[in-house]
Structure formats: C-alpha cells, structure tokens
Amino acid sequence: MTRWLLLLWIGGTLGAQVTPPGKVPIPEDERPSKPFVWSERRLLVAPELFDAPDEWIDRSLQWADFILGTYRPALPEHPLRRAALLRLDDVLHIESAPRKELVQKWYRARMYRAIEEIERTKVTEGMRIWKLYNHGFLVRTPTVSFTFDFVPGTRQPGFAIEKEWLARLVTQSDATFISHLHGDHASQDVARLFLAQGKPVIAPEGLWKTMPEFAGKLTYPERSAKVHRIPVQGGKQVLEVVAYPGHQGATVLNNVHLVRSPEGLTAMQTGDQWNDDAPGTDFDWISHVGRQHAVDVLLPNCWTRGIARMVRGVNPKLVITGHENEMAHTVDHREDNTQTYTRLWGVGYPFVLMTWGESYGYQRVAEPRLGVDK
Ligand SMILES: [Zn+2]
Ligand SMILES: [Zn+2]
C-alpha cells in the first residue's frame, strides 16, 4: 500500500461511526452524539475494544491484583486504587471479556482467595464486608455473618465458581438475602445449599414458590417498614430485618433489605432498585429510611436511579457500591467503576469502591460534635 493510500485508509477507519459490538441493538434514546462511541451511555468513559491481545489483558489483571493487594480498600482511598479499578474497567469492557479464559480464571482465583480469607477471618469489632460477584456481599460482625445476593458468577461456561466453593462460602454465612429473581442476584444452587444447612433464605414474596423444592421453605418478610426478627445459628442469635418494598422498573418486586446485627450494626443492600422519581414511587419511603434507622453501611446498585437522593434518604455512615462490571450485560450496560466515581462525585458521603473478593473493615466511630466548645 502506498503511503497516500495508507493515510486514506486510516482516515476512513477513524472517521466512520463505531458499530456496536456483538450487533447490540441501540435504543433510540441511547444513539450516540459522537462518532467515537456506539452508545451514548459510553460517552463519559474510555471507549471499549471488541477484542484485545492476551498479553495486555494478562499483564493488566496481574498489575491490578498487585496494586489492589498492596493498597487495600481504605478511607481516604489511595489514588493507585482508582488507577487499578479503571484498568479493570478497560479489561472487563472488552466485548469478548466474559468468554475469555484469562478473565474467567482471574475472577475465579479472586473468589477462591476471598473464600479462604473468610474461612480464617474472625471479626472482633465492627463489620467486615466482602464484595462478591456482582451485587453480592458477605457481612461479618463479632456475632453473625450473612450474605446478600450471593451468586456464583455468570452463566457463561467456565465463568462461575464450582459448587464445592459455593458450599464453603455458605458454611461461613448464617443466612442469605435475595433482593429479586434476576440471575445476577438470585441463585437456586446457593439457596439449595443454605436450606440444606438449615439456614434461612430471605426473599421477596412468591420467589420460586411454584417449585416443590422451595415451596414453603423460603422466608418472605412482609414488604413494608416493619422490623422482623429472624433467628439464626439455631436460635442462638437474632437478625432484625426490614424488607423495604422496592422495585426494578414497574413490575419486578425488589426487596431492599436492611439487616441489624445483635451488636446493633446495620447494613442495607438495595438489589436492582430502580424506580421513577415521582410522587407515589419508592422515593417516598427511601427518603425516610435514615429517620427510622441508623444505617451504618449502604450497599446500593451503582446505577440506581438518583443515587445521590437515595444516599441522602438512607443517610448511612458509609457507602459501598455493587453491580459494577456485570459480565452478563452487554457492554453499554456493564456499568463500570469509572461511572461509579462520577455518580458519587459530590454526593458528600464517604464511599469505598472494591472489586470482586476485596473486603473493608468498618468501625463505627463516635460522631464529632461540631460547633460545641469544650
Ligand atoms: Zn434485576
Ligand atoms: Zn442486577
């Protein structure tokens, strides 16, 4: 190719509108305003690739592990953590990432390490919170452990962790909370293991009720502001639970579970809470949660509608987001860490971003008494 022809070819390639990876249909309101993105949802994050060399993926994942392992989740956050989390966005937003063995192995290795760490961690004060896949968390206090939306991974062959590892994690948890029926939050394999160990599975009313193996066995707390007492560890301890009546869109029942440990430490996980911001919608109760309960840690879906309004309503001491980089979603809805930083910018509450398998130790500190002279 002559130099002139080469320049013409390069110019033509860069100037053309990018087409969606995997031929994803783009809804009318997400059509891009710029030629370098294929969905308007990707305008404020670095553009993704359809594929990338294994060498770059491998070295990026190893580097991210090294940085995140050296600079653990903390407040204030070390700036290198953000660099590593953004590099993970780059890798996990390659269109083919969910199908790549390198990515799958990296995810599974992180989960194995986390499960081993959970097995040997005793919490003596406060709450330690591990981030599991997608919107999953394990919360441990000195007296109890419980999980939210724990799932093994995506259905992509080769991605999920094996049953043996699920069982090991279930052994570490006294109860599990399922926000709603979608596969990135609810796993029948996980529920089965909890029930087999005689532990409560708390879910929105009616979940899997037509399946004989689950009928009558799940716990459906009334979806309201009522406080329920759910015994765990064979009645040795009690969790106080509120199942706020949330929704994903107009029709999916989504429990927003608030759980208080016997020490009085409170965590609240939102599932896929996503509802209109209008009178008569879920913001009516979201705006009052903080008046009803002293919430320590809020675990919202990073893309919930009106995250700033939600955080103000719940008024937690700390926010730890979930649902970043959900690999079963197409790239435009894979919701990266970059977007979480942007969404929480200016919200004014402390927040911690983590990737799969990381944990943060939360301690309740006495409120500073501002403006009071001694
Ligand atoms: Zn959902
Ligand atoms: Zn989801």
pLDDT digits (tens, 9 = 90+) for 279-324: 899 999 999 999 999 999 999 999 999 999 999 999 999 999 999 9
Ligand located closest to 149 CA: 2
C-beta separation of 90 from 60 below 8 A: yes
Query: How many angstroms does the Cα of residue 148 sit away from the middle of ligand 1?
Result: 14
C-beta separation of 130 from 356 below 8 A: no
Q: Write down all domains in the chain, each with its CATH number in brackets.
A: 125-356 (3.60.15.10)
Nearest to residue 228, comparing CAs of 218, 236, 239? 239
Query: How many angstroms does the Cα of residue 185 sit away from the middle of ligand 2?
Result: 6
Ligand located closest to 334 CA: 2
Query: How many angstroms does the Cα of residue 106 sit away from the middle of ligand 1?
Result: 25
11 secondary structure, DSSP code: H
How high is the pLDDT of residue 14? Answer: 47
Query: How many angstroms does the Cα of residue 222 sit away from the middle of ligand 1?
Result: 20
pLDDT band at 11 (very low <50, low <70, confident <90, very high): very low
Number of Cβ within a 10 Å radius of residue 42? 23
Query: 176: which strand partners?
Result: 147, 201
Ligand located closest to 251 CA: 1
Ligand located closest to 246 CA: 1
Beta strands 351-352; 318-320: pairing state: parallel
pTM of the complete model: 0.93
How high is the pLDDT of residue 15? Answer: 52
Query: How many angstroms does the Cα of residue 245 sit away from the middle of ligand 1?
Result: 15
Query: 152: which strand partners?
Result: none
Ligand located closest to 252 CA: 1
Percent helix, strand, coil in the chain, to 5, is 35, 15, 50
pLDDT band at 187 (very low <50, low <70, confident <90, very high): very high
Q: 210 exposed, middle or buried (CB, 10 Å; 0-12, 13-18, 19+)? A: exposed
Query: How many angstroms does the Cα of residue 125 sit away from the middle of ligand 2?
Result: 31
204 secondary structure, DSSP code: S
Rounded to whole angstroms, the Cα distance separating 243 from 13 reads 52
Phi, psi values for residue 344, rounded to 5° = -90, -5
